[in-house]
């Protein structure tokens, strides 16, 4: 019985590619929910997704080798849903509902592959774009981000010897476990993993998910990562994202239509999904204007996911809005998911406990917190604020305002036009975006 | 290429014994140095070594299975010096000196095996004794302690799942690495591993030694563990221990002879070793009386290893003694080795820096610090104060007074007799013994 598996060792030392994305389920669950709606209602719409690095001080094109990036993107394009995955999607219960995906949609999905990409370097950054039909390009968001973030981690660790790597991961594990111990102290808290896009690596995300399972037990309600949900028998979680109102707004032909687009999205959504999937994401063009103009039926939805306002202030605004419409906030759900870490989770939990149901979608600081973990100091393992946003729909510019001007995306003049139409520019609070 | 090596897995799950001691070199270097002297000068002396658990609150016989203990002790008795080990002992340079071991001694050592042991349970403790010729029983000290400490660790971890073990070692590594970072900040410090006897496990000691190599570089001067020194190309370090004055004192026929025995030991030692090996261990019967009665030539020795007095107080007393004898302490060496951790190392280092050469022999808190590392709270992984001391020589009781009455060993009436003869009882300072 050999101590060294010679075949494996030789394989490890001669391989060409360690694929980052090995499954099309290695994505966020909401992408599949949105995809079914896009496929059903907007199959002819084109939407371009573009990589946006908000941490401009990090020159991605200097850190990540272009050929390695192309190899990973090309590999992701070869991946298909496997039979096992298709059977699981068809047979699993999501949010308590069987057959959430229509057979026709699944039949189409069985042949799905990621479409082409366009990659250029400019000023030390990558210009990475995914043009084409929305129902294809939408699926690039998560794998593109996961690939770039993991390639960046790998580049940062290339010079590390085995001992440095050992210390790095030991410290990251110790740090992560200390977080679970703090969270365990909060009775009835509900936390889920939303960290796929920003993860240090797939294996590290999996470890963090296992740590939450072991560490906080039932308080860990699931993961947005469909593959991890399948592999570890967790709930797959997530509802909808900014791309829906952004595309519908871009397609609007009049200012009036633009103003109504955030509610049109909700109406579309409700045709497909109900119950706990009825979560409003109110901040695409500012939560204040969204609440001001919202039809009364929006108050019947299960909850809101404030995603760019400060959590306590943003949550209080929504609670007040519910009360004004005769709703009891205790029957309602707030899902917090913006730049959370244990401090903000604790603070938000303590503030809202007993006032409203709440859940925390924990992302970057769950799956990519390596600060002070490397044995020699480096910034290269710190997470950056990298997103992949829809920038164009049917040739028209797409825009996001958000509650935090630092998170706005899109053409400057178009942003100004949106600000005029939605108004309430002063209700938006500029905050630094760390992740 | 299988992902699981089936043969190895089956082997792992069916094995009978995971031996703790796999080499007779897996011991402290000073045992070999002392052994050569014992073999050369006292081959006819019998000396009984006995296990003493000073942490009486820990009931070792309840924690460790007797059969497992017997299996490990029996296995250790089957181990011989290998050819490679004998060649290394003969060919290596120790403390700058070639052929420190005489060919006749090595020829005898080649057939060495650990002698028989006597094991009984009493009141939840193990009575473990090694009676027989000193030149055989002496070699049991380190393996016996390493076996019991590692069996205790294993027992404590038996209920841990793979994730809990992962967190445990991650935290222990993070903790250890943080220590190396603090020590790295102390210029010109000299630290060595003295942690074999108290280690959590052999593999963990090896990791800690690697961590010091990586973390503090040249400031890490070596290890007392001969096997680790050989395997990792480190210096093997250590000089002599209390067993020498204890046995010689026990053999003394008159009070006068007893009083002279600590210096007789040094004279014997000097016949075999010189230079940096001329380190005085002054506290067997109290440092105050040792210094008071010491002949002048003792001040010519390279240094002292104060082993039970508080380090600063004990070191200052020796420095004063050197000065009184016209010696410049800057030419002298103090080796600290009693219950060190980073706090005490830093404090002692800062106090003596520039006044005297110094070195730190770091033991228990280097190789067995798992406090607050387990994911669920347990005391069972905390190190205990376990020693294996000579208790009898040629049928006469052996005694150690030490500078700390809590570390005294031996028959009570005999201790009183020694205290009368050596005097200076008030110079001894009672301190809690943690490790």
The predicted-structure confidence for A180-209, as pLDDT tens digits, reads as follows: 999 999 999 999 999 999 999 999 999 999
For position A2, what pLDDT does the model report?
A: 64
User: Which helix (H) or strand (E) segment is A390 a member of?
Assistant: strand A386-393
Q: Tell me the two tokens of residue B64.
A: 């460790």
For position B426, what pLDDT does the model report?
A: 62
Range of the domain at B324: 1-434
For position A145, what pLDDT does the model report?
A: 98
Measured between beta carbons, the chain B residues lying within 8 angstroms of A1 are 5, 7-8, 11
A214 at the B interface (CB within 8 A)?
Answer: yes
A99-110 tens-digit pLDDT: 999 999 999 999
A182 at the B interface (CB within 8 A)?
Answer: no
For position A425, what pLDDT does the model report?
A: 60
For position A233, what pLDDT does the model report?
A: 94
Q: Would you put residue B180 in left (φ > 0), alpha (ψ -120 to 50) or beta?
A: alpha
A339-352 tens-digit pLDDT: 999 999 999 999 99
For position B425, what pLDDT does the model report?
A: 60
Nearest to B94 by CA among B146, B137, B33, B34: B33
Smallest Cα distance from A163 to chain B, Å? 8
ipTM reported for the complex surpasses 0.90: no
For position B69, what pLDDT does the model report?
A: 98
CB contact under 8 A, B214 and A375: yes
For position A138, what pLDDT does the model report?
A: 98
Asked if A419 contacts A285 with a C-beta cutoff of 8 angstroms, the reply is no
Range in A248-252, A364-368, A401-405, B263-267 the model is least confident about: A401-405
Q: C-alpha distances in angstroms, B13 versus A169, B10, B16, B18, B235?
A: 28, 5, 9, 11, 37
For position A16, what pLDDT does the model report?
A: 72
Asked if B199 contacts B384 with a C-beta cutoff of 8 angstroms, the reply is no
Confidence of residue A426 (pLDDT cuts 50, 70, 90): low
Confidence of residue A429 (pLDDT cuts 50, 70, 90): confident
CB contact under 8 A, A174 and B164: no
Q: What is the arithmetic mean of pLDDT over A69-84?
A: 98
For position B4, what pLDDT does the model report?
A: 78
B1 at the A interface (CB within 8 A)?
Answer: yes
A202-231 tens-digit pLDDT: 999 999 999 999 999 999 999 999 999 999
pTM confidence score: 0.91
For position A13, what pLDDT does the model report?
A: 75
B116 at the A interface (CB within 8 A)?
Answer: no
Which domain CATH number covers A129?
Answer: 3.20.140.10
CB contact under 8 A, B173 and A167: yes
- Order the strands of the A191-193 sheet from edge to edge: A220-223, A191-193, A357-362, A333-336, A303-304, A279-280
Mean pLDDT by 10 residues, chain B (435 residues): 74 82 98 98 98 96 97 98 97 96 98 98 97 98 98 95 94 97 97 98 97 96 98 96 98 96 97 94 95 96 95 96 98 96 98 98 98 93 97 97 92 93 76 78
Using the predicted structure, report yes or no on whether residue A11 has a pLDDT greater than 80: no
A90 at the B interface (CB within 8 A)?
Answer: no
A10 at the B interface (CB within 8 A)?
Answer: no
* Domain count of the fold of chain B: 1
* Bridge partners of residue A49, in order along the sequence: A130, A390
């Amino acid at each position: 019985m050999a101590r060294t598996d010679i075949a494996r060792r030789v394989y490890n030392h001669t391989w060409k590619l360690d694929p980052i994305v090995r499954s099309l389920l290695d994505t966020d669950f909401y992408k599949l929910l949105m995809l079914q709606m896009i496929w059903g209602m907007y199959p002819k719409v084109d939407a371009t997704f573009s990589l946006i690095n908000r941490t401009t001080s990090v020159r991605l094109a200097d850190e990540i080798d272009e050929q390695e990036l192309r190899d990973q993107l090309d590999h992701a394009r070869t991946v298909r849903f496997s039979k096992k995955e298709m059977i699981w999607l068809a047979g699993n219960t999501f949010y308590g509902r069987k057959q959430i995906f229509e057979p026709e949609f699944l039949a189409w999905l069985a042949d799905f592959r990621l479409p082409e990409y366009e990659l250029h370097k400019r000023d030390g950054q990558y210009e990475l774009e995914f043009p084409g039909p929305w129902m294809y390009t939408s699926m690039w968001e998560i794998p593109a981000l996961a690939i770039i973030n993991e390639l960046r981690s790998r580049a940062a660790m290339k010079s590390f010897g085995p001992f440095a790597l050992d210390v790095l991961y030991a410290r990251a594990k110790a740090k992560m476990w200390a977080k679970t111990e703090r969270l365990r102290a909060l009775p009835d808290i509900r936390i889920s993993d939303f960290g796929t896009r920003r993860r240090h690596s797939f294996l590290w995300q999996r470890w963090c998910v296992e740590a939450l399972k072991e560490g906080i037990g039932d308080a860990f309600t699931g993961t947005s990562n469909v593959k991890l949900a399948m592999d570890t028998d967790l709930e797959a979680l997530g509802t909808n994202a900014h791309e829906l109102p952004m595309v519908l707004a871009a397609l609007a032909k009049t200012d009036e239509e633009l103003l109504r687009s955030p509610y049109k999205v909700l109406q579309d959504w409700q045709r497909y999904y109900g119950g706990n999937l009825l979560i409003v994401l109110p901040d695409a063009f500012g939560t204040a204007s969204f609440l001001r103009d919202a039809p009364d039926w929006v108050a019947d939805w299960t909850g809101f996911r404030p995603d760019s306002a400060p959590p306590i202030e943003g949550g209080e605004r929504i609670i007040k809005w519910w009360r004004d419409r005769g709703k009891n906030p205790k029957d309602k759900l707030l899902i917090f998911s913006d730049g959370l870490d244990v401090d903000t989770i604790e603070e938000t939990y303590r503030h809202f406990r007993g006032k409203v149901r709440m859940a925390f979608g924990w992302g970057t600081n769950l799956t990519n917190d390596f600060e002070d973990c490397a044995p020699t100091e480096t910034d290269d393992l710190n997470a950056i604020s990298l997103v992949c946003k829809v920038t164009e729909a049917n040739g028209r510019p797409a825009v996001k305002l958000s509650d935090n001007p630092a998170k706005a995306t899109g053409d400057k003049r178009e942003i100004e036009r949106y600000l005029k139409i939605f108004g309430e520019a002063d209700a938006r609070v500029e905050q630094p975006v760390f992740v």
